[in-house]
Amino acid sequence: MKIFKICSVSLLFLFPEIGYAKMDSSEVDMKSEHRASSDSLAPLEKARKMSRIKGNRKIDITPIKERDGIASGIVVVYGHSLFPPYKVENVGEKVLINGIQVVPSLLVQRDSKPIEIPEEKKARYLKMIQFEKEISKIYYSQVSYKDRTTLQAEILAFAKKNTLVKDARWGKDMLVLDYKVGGGSMLNLKGTTPDKPWPSRKEETGKAIVEYISKGIKSGCILIDSNGGITPGCGRKDTVNEIMQNANLSKEEKINRLSKWGNFEVAMDIVDNYDHAEWKTNGEQK
């Protein structure tokens, strides 16, 4: 099956060379094993440091059992393996697979701390917005019949009377406001009607992501991790089961081995959320 290729950032790690001094062969093996073990953790630590997810990645999901959709392929979401068929859809900028939100990442949203804005600052900001709306209304309600120079002078006088404003001046088709607190603002006032707001690109973005994910599934595999990454291509399901059910492996060793199956983000997700029932192979499902 053809693997869908993507560009990725490669991390290069340089291993120290072993010296040529004579020593017992068993000692060489022990030192080499110790060095390989310590070096193998370096990429994992770097991946943890770079990730936005700093705590536990455990998350419970309940996928919808779809009747129609993409009939085959491997789909891993937050370390959970979903069963086909797969329905990929978008609601605005949000993207869902079998009813599970995958974009934006639920883990990123869960771990994000809301920015606390003091009530005084929030009230002042709202007053600035209302003030600028009033200026815009004055300009566009009178510009079609009033002399422009006269109108600009009246607006300037109106702006300078506001208690929030430190200074105000006209540039070319632009009113520059310097507030006493909170910086400044520039109002683009030209023509006879306000500029139309930029069209929303959220729907288009969502559709593009749906197409990208669908293409990855049809190519054989798509991995969606807690950090927000979407990666087409992976190994076999039974490889994950073999690694996760190996009682002799530590958590770090399992992550390192699973990273070769997918990547470090996906590996950390799987270790925190592994459920063998979700990772049944076709033979076990029969």
Co-location of 97 and 141 in the same domain: no
pLDDT, tens only, 152-168 = 999 999 999 999 999 99
Cβ–Cβ < 8 Å for 180, 233: no
Over 90: is that where the pLDDT of 254 sits? yes
Co-location of 84 and 205 in the same domain: yes
What integer pLDDT is reported at residue 115 of this predicted model? 67
pLDDT, tens only, 67-86 = 999 999 999 999 999 999 99
Q: Which of 188, 219, 236 is the last residue of a domain?
A: 188
Co-location of 281 and 210 in the same domain: yes
Over 70: is that where the pLDDT of 27 sits? no
Helices in 219-250 by DSSP H: which ranges?
A: 237-244
Q: Stretch 93-112: mean pLDDT, rounded?
A: 93
- Calculate what percentage of the chain has a pLDDT beyond 90: 66
Over 80: is that where the pLDDT of 33 sits? no
CA distance 1 to 155: 67
Q: Which of 166, 188, 210 is the last residue of a domain?
A: 188
pLDDT tier at 255 (50, 70, 90 boundaries)?
very high
What integer pLDDT is reported at residue 282 of this predicted model? 64
Residue 108 in 3-state DSSP? helix
Q: Mean pLDDT, the chain, as a whole number?
A: 83
Contacts of 80 (CB under 8 A, 6+ apart): 61, 63, 273, 275, 278
Higher pLDDT, 21 or 136: 136
Residue 57 is assigned to a structural domain of this protein: yes
What integer pLDDT is reported at residue 108 of this predicted model? 93
Laid out side by side, the sheet with 174-179 consists of 165-171, 174-179, 184-188
Q: Domains in the chain: how many in total? A: 2
Task: Tell me the Cα Rg of the chain.
Answer: 29
Residue 98 is assigned to a structural domain of this protein: yes
pLDDT, tens only, 34-47 = 444 444 558 999 99
Co-location of 106 and 124 in the same domain: no
Contacts of 92 (CB under 8 A, 6+ apart): 202, 203, 206
Residue 33 is assigned to a structural domain of this protein: no
CA distance 78 to 265: 9
Co-location of 77 and 140 in the same domain: no
CA distance 112 to 108: 6
What integer pLDDT is reported at residue 194 of this predicted model? 76
Higher pLDDT, 132 or 17: 132
Contacts of 119 (CB under 8 A, 6+ apart): none
Over 80: is that where the pLDDT of 25 sits? no
Whole-number Cα distances in Å, 221 to 214, 215, 236, 281:
10, 9, 10, 14
Q: Stretch 4-28: mean pLDDT, rounded?
A: 34
Residue 2 is assigned to a structural domain of this protein: no
What integer pLDDT is reported at residue 192 of this predicted model? 82
Co-location of 229 and 281 in the same domain: yes
Domain around 170: 119-188
What pTM value is reported for the model?
Answer: 0.60
Higher pLDDT, 190 or 217: 217
Over 50: is that where the pLDDT of 97 sits? yes
Whole-number Cα distances in Å, 95 to 59, 70, 242, 264:
18, 16, 31, 23
Co-location of 73 and 125 in the same domain: no
Which DSSP helix (H) or strand (E) runs through 19? none
CA 12-16-51 angle, 5° bins: 35
Residue 235 is assigned to a structural domain of this protein: yes
What integer pLDDT is reported at residue 117 of this predicted model? 79
Closest CA relative to residue 80, chosen from 204, 244, 198 = 244
Question: DSSP state, 102?
Answer: E
- Calculate what percentage of the chain has a pLDDT beyond 70: 81
